[in-house]
A and B are shown apart, each in its own frame.
Chain A
Amino acid sequence: MNRPAGSLFAAQHRLAPYLFVTPFVVLFCTFGLYPLIKSVVLSFYITSGPRSQVFVWFDNFRFLLGDPDFHKAVWNTFVFAVFSVFLQLPLSLGLALLLNRKNLRGRNVFRLCFFSPRLVGMVFVGVLFSVIFAAPYGLLNVGLHGLFGASLERAWLQDPHLVMPALVLTALWMYVGFNMIYFLAALQNVDRTLYEAATVDGANAWQQFWHVTLPGIKPVAVFVVVLSTIGSFQLFELPYLMLGNNAGPDDAGLTVVMYLYQNGFVTGDLGYASTIGWTLAAMVLVLALAQMYLSGTWKKEP
């Protein structure tokens, strides 16, 4: 080091990393960390708008445990998450397996096509599907009528039993292709020679899938499962746009985040909203950690 050894040059070298992270850290602390800590505090208050607050200890949590609307919201959210993981992800994987076939022509075209719903933002999907599910001339009713002679009058979003299937179907359309991208990338990373070895050993296609493919894509699969679960628990825009602020007939589309929004920003109780938020966070954390634990993500490889 014989070039500018002036003290200014040396100082900027020492200070540089601090200067580089400072804007990030300051903004993060103000708009990330501070609200996070403040929300813990807020969850012990009953508030009415941003100004008036009453300290109530754990009353919010106690009330939440017995709140039938919250139970309904958790149940709906849970059902939606179950379908996301157990219906949507297997379909994504299946599609990825199809696309991963050797010598497949037009792979990129198919991939782009399957992925395309993800380009439509959640809100816009909500608007589009509120019309698709409409009676009598929504696309779904017209299609089912044309194919099976089903009734045109089925009002999907007005029937408490059909609201959840409608939401699941919409999410299916939106995310099957998106999650497929992860699986496809993982499949393409599986060591080809393992398949050759398995073939030599006489393994059939099913055995190959079970003993070569699945272990090969496991890290990505766990990642996608955890991500889907977390995403499902944050469901808000779809039901809000498709069903309106009151979450459809009989609260059939009420989700946890929707309930948080209603309490915090329609009723104006920011304290209770924070309580709901932390309960949501706890549920998500427990589920994600359980999934990672059950899948053996933390076990050391032999």
Chain B
Amino acid sequence: MGKAAGKIILYTALAFVGFLTLVPLIWLVACSVKGAEDFFRYTFFPPISRFSLANFVSLFEQMPFVRLMMNSLFVAGTTVMVQLFFSSLGGFALAKYEFRGKKIIMVVMLATMMIPAQVMLAPLYELICRMNLADTYLGLIVPGAVSVFGMFLFRQSMLQLPDELLQAGRIDGCSEFGLYWRIAIPISRPMIGAFCLIAFMGTWNSFLWPQIILQSNLKFTLPIALNQLVGLQRQDYGVLMAGTLLSVLPVAVLFLILQKEFLSGLTAGAVKG
């Protein structure tokens, strides 16, 4: 009897926390599909017959939303690809080769990981201005092209790559880049999935740097555009919620595809210590 009661309490507690967690998200969806006149009348969803796309229509009238979505996809997609290539290549070298300067590279990178990135904001902005990259996608992508975190992630996973396998490849006449491309990369696939998702989420949601260097409305990424919308539409909650919902969806979809890799990648570094 005591056991059953404990079980009921356990599941009730979990369900309660789950409810609290989901309510804001449900409300987000509900608010985007309610017309303005129903916004205050129904706390959550109105009857199905009163569902309305008015908020989305209004959103698309107020900003070139498709264009903004494409901007975000382009910036995030490019950044992730570039980061992935450089980090995994660098991680491979640091894991599987002995060469001069290796130690220094690792120590310097570890040290800079401890320093909050905001320290570099001012000089980075100055640098980008001097390179005439302000208000360009290049100025957005290039400073974020290397990920020290990613490099360590890949180094860590590639350390487990057996040297005999690489040696066998060499004997068969495979070039060093071939070893990276044909052996190291395919074996690191779970880590690649995790890294892509983490990096994509980071770039997709990145706000401070784009906010500093982007000026023209047509180049905005979604977070910057949403911030502008908040300024314009503090009172039009429905439109704000519709914009937020659409901005969040791509990440949610990607997550559902990659969630297994993601969760294991997230905790890999922490648990192995």
Contacts and interface: CB of A to CB of B under 8 A. Distances in A.
Most B-side CB within 10 Å, residue of A33, A271, A274 = A274
Contact of B121 (A24, A224, A273, A285): A273
Report whether over half of chain B's contact residues are helix, strand or loop; otherwise say mixed: helix
A23 B226 CA distance: 34
Contacts, number: 251
A131 B32 CA distance: 12
B146 A257 contact: no
Given A4-B173, A234-B116, A27 B145 contact: yes
A90 interface: no
Interface residues of A, number: 90
Report whether over half of chain A's contact residues are helix, strand or loop; otherwise say mixed: helix
A244 to B, nearest CB: 8
B168 to A, nearest CB: 11
A127 B177 CA distance: 46
Interface in A28-79: 28, 30-36, 38-39, 42, 50
B44 to A, nearest CB: 9
A219 B267 CA distance: 12
A71 to B, nearest CB: 19
Most A-side CB within 10 Å, residue of B105, B124, B125, B247 = B124
Most B-side CB within 10 Å, residue of A13, A17, A18, A237 = A17
A18 B94 CA distance: 10
B127 interface: yes
Interface string B175-213: 111001000000000000000000001001101100010
Nearest to A139: B27
Contacts of A168: none
B205 A142 contact: no
Nearest to A20: B93
Contact count band on B: 35 or more
B66 interface: no
B93 A21 contact: yes
Given A39-B120, A120-B248, A261-B208, A132 B126 contact: no
B14 A99 contact: yes
A129 B241 CA distance: 10
Contact of A17 (B21, B99, B207, B223): B99
A284 B118 CA distance: 12
Contact of A257 (B18, B94, B118): B118
Contacts of B5: none
B230 A127 contact: yes
Interface of A: 1, 3-4, 9, 12-13, 16-18, 20-21, 23-25, 27-28, 30-36, 38-39, 42, 50, 95, 98-99, 101, 104, 110, 112-114, 116-117, 119-124, 127-132, 134, 137, 139, 142, 146, 173, 177, 181-182, 185-186, 189, 219-220, 223-224, 230, 233-234, 236-237, 240-241, 244, 257, 260-261, 264-265, 270-271, 273-274, 277-278, 280-281, 284-285, 288
Closest 3 CB pairs of A and B: A121-B205, A16-B176, A17-B97
